[in-house]
Amino acid sequence: MQEFLQQKAIVTGATRGIGRAITRALLDRGATVYGLYGSDQSAAAELADQCQNAGDRLQLVRCNVADHEAVGEFYATFEAAHDTLDILVNNAGIRRDQLLALMDIDTWQRVIDVNLTGTFNMCKYAVPLMLKQKYGRIISVTSPASYLGFSGQGNYAAAKAGQIGLTRTLAKEVARKKITVNCVSPGFVDTDFIGDLSDEQRAAYRKMVPMRRFGTAEEIADAVIFLASARASYITGAVIDINGGI
């Protein structure tokens, strides 16, 4: 099914976990995907190897989404090749967990910079490209931490809550131009993003989930694909929970 044939997509945090699943799902449906990644070149090489059949429809670009100037340079390169943009997926994210009383300012700021400012930076340049054609889909990957709060994740929860506020505001600003802006909110997903958890922590978190299992990256990608499609044309400013019932 080539529902995104001739469409251009940008996915941040594209080479691992949820981002990789989203990238592959878009490619499978005909899109040209610019996959942005931070520093893990081995993961980028692995994804490129997995997606050889996509040919030049997959472009992997190293870019720090927290760096406004670097994002601007990326978009300048993108615009040199393409006049418009159809889909933006803000998936890049990091965790640096620490109790608030023990958290230093650098730990706080780094998480805000990547998760929240990175989303702003990507949207800032994407929206004008979407306005040109009066069409676009922006999907950001947030977290239940934004409203539940988890001990040691004050920085992460604040950044993810900020993503939701930004999403709902931008959705109102561009709604008349047929641009939709939404979030997906995955619960615990079995990727290397939670690879630092001990077996005891994983068991405890699994008990929090009524379905008694973690989600898969592909289950999150399915929701992103729906929101990126024409079928979701009347959904904007929404947060779609994909968390097994938390």
Task: Say if CB 187 and CB 144 are below 8 A apart.
Answer: yes
State CA 69 to chain mean position distance: 20
State the Cα–Cα distance between residues 139 and 183, nearest whole angstrom: 5
Beta bridge partners of 37: 62
Q: How far is CA 196 from CA 5, 10, 97, 134, 243, in A?
A: 38, 28, 11, 43, 20
State the Cα–Cα distance between residues 91 and 109, nearest whole angstrom: 18
Task: Say if CB 116 and CB 159 are below 8 A apart.
Answer: yes
State the Cα–Cα distance between residues 113 and 155, nearest whole angstrom: 10
Active site residues: 156
State CA 162 to chain mean position distance: 14
State the Cα–Cα distance between residues 161 and 79, nearest whole angstrom: 31
In this structure, what token pair is assigned to residue 69?
A: 């100037």
Measured torsion, CA atoms of residues 39, 194, 29, 14, in degrees rounded to the nearest 10: -10
Beta bridge partners of 36: 12, 61
State the Cα–Cα distance between residues 122 and 131, nearest whole angstrom: 15
- What does DSSP assign to residue 38? S
